[in-house]
Structure 1
Amino acid sequence: MTMIKLDISQNNFTINDTSLNFPIEIEVLDKILLANKRTVKKKHNIIYTWDDLGILAYSKNGQVVESLLLELKKGDFDFSSKDIFKGQFYFDNEEVITYYKTNKDKRVKLFDGDSNGALVLNNISVWFDSDKNNMEAIEIAAFKGVSIQKIPKDKYTIKEVNEELIEFSDFGFKLSIIQELMYTKEILEPKFDLFEFVIWYTKRDIDLEKEGYEPIPEVTQYFKDLPIPKKFATEITEIYQDGGNEIYMQLLRFGEGWEGYWDIENAKDAKHFPNLKKAILCYAKENVLNELNDMGIKSEWI
């Protein structure tokens, strides 16, 4: 197996001495990495996994990749690599993790609530996913600038709505609908961002690094209270549950994809959605699949 060496300098980004720029063609990566890869197709992107190398690549169109992920800890997702990254990675002529730990003043926050920060060089960002000082992964992508903005005082205040609302009996079902309306179709606003919410929330300090291993009560309550107007009901044609869905990543900072906090208990809420014809499930009790199929909604496990 080829030893992988990444190097980001003032003027270049290379993998095994081959110069690269984002987005990177899949064929080019294959020629450099010289290892077998798996392809996992998700609803909104395609993930390529080189199991023996501990490297993942994310693509929107299946032709070029927008980011790379080096896994330093084994994950439980279907796209997680079977082995961790054991290659070399140099940043400005120094081992990247050593550089990160000894140059705190050079870390750049890429988004509101980014407690880890990234290193940026040659218009490439290297972001570190760490848990209590233990590195779990490193993400490499084109640097798009810093997105920290002032948060409106009322952004996450639940407001009264003067229109008919959908009355849900099952929280898990409601979350699957929010995923479609808020993150897939982007018509339910505001689009919830966990890091932003933590900064916005003033009733107490929420420490994501300590509390992110369990659902945060204030976040869960926000989604329970969030009104869903009936006018959106006809927009729902399918439900697609996946451990990597944005809604679940917002609810649980350090989620692994196997949690059962949001299982759909029953399919009664499907009655609100006349155009719902298909459901792909992973967070649901066994009975839900049959109930949906009996209602004429073609359903299967992911």
Structure 2
Amino acid sequence: MTQFTDFNFKLLVIERLMYDDGTLTPRFDLGAHLVEQGLIEYGGDPAYTYTVKNALEYQVVPAARDHFEALEISPGLLATVEELLLDGGHQVYAHCSPVWDGEDDLYDVRSLDDLPLLPNLKRIRGADDFWPPEFLEVLQERGIATED
């Protein structure tokens, strides 16, 4: 089983594989998951309702965190990742924090220790704008492009 050390880095990979490429299935939907778990009744936007009702607006909803932390991604699937994008509008973030507005560091990557899990990664778009110089140095050393 592949273990990620940085949850937020894993979310970037999940965004690419599950929501962009459609190769990591089944596609997770927080609202449907909450209804299936009996945590909220269907109607309106169950993920938003659950988040507000439980004062979870600016954090990862525990049910989503549990799901994504336990989600296994095979080395073969990880090897297909050639590009990642840094963007506060990712679908995976909407399924983790339906009320999140992108105005804090909730989804900032804090470690690049997981880079070896992506042997064919060639580019991280947006890194020049959002990541610190020490991260950019690591990417440059590994031959990973950062320009758009």
What is the letter of the counterpart of residue 57 of structure 2?
Y
CA distance, structure 1, for counterparts of residue 118 and residue 50 of structure 2 = 37
What is the letter of the counterpart of residue 140 of structure 2?
N
CA distance, structure 1, for counterparts of residue 90 and residue 64 of structure 2 = 16
Q: Secondary structure at the match of 1:196?
A: helix
In the TM superposition, what is the alpha-carbon distance from 1:285 to its structure 2 partner?
5.0
Question: What TM-score do the two structures reach when normalised by structure 1?
Answer: 0.41
What is the letter of the counterpart of residue 4 of structure 2?
F
Q: Deviations over 1:238-268 (max 9, x none)?
A: 0112111111111111121233122211212
- Given candidates 25, 33, 39, the residue that maps to 1:197 is 33
Report what 2:111 is aligned to.
266
Report what 2:52 is aligned to.
209
- Given candidates 177, 183, 187, the residue that maps to 2:23 is 187
Computed over aligned residues only, the root mean square deviation of the Cα atoms, in angstroms, reads 2.2
Relative to total residues, which structure has the larger strand share, 1 or 2? 1
Establish whether residue 276 from structure 1 lines up as the match of residue 121 from structure 2: yes
> Are 1:265 and 1:285, in contact at CA under 8 Å, matched by a contact in 2?
no
Q: Secondary structure at the match of 2:139?
A: helix
> Are 2:94 and 2:100, in contact at CA under 8 Å, matched by a contact in 1?
yes
Establish whether residue 297 from structure 1 lines up as the match of residue 141 from structure 2: no
> Are 2:30 and 2:96, in contact at CA under 8 Å, matched by a contact in 1?
yes
> Runs of at least 4 residues of structure 1 off by over 4 A?
282-285
In the TM superposition, what is the alpha-carbon distance from 1:180 to its structure 2 partner?
0.5
Query: Does 1 or 2 have the higher relative contact order (CA < 8 Å, sep 6+)?
Result: 2
CA distance, structure 2, for counterparts of residue 299 and residue 288 of structure 1 = 11
How high is the sequence identity, in percent, across the aligned residues? Answer: 27
Relative to total residues, which structure has the larger helix share, 1 or 2? 2
> Are 1:278 and 1:299, in contact at CA under 8 Å, matched by a contact in 2?
yes
Q: Secondary structure at the match of 1:279?
A: strand
The gaps in structure 2 that reach 5 residues or longer are 41-48
The gaps in structure 1 that reach 5 residues or longer are 1-164
CA distance, structure 2, for counterparts of residue 298 and residue 181 of structure 1 = 19
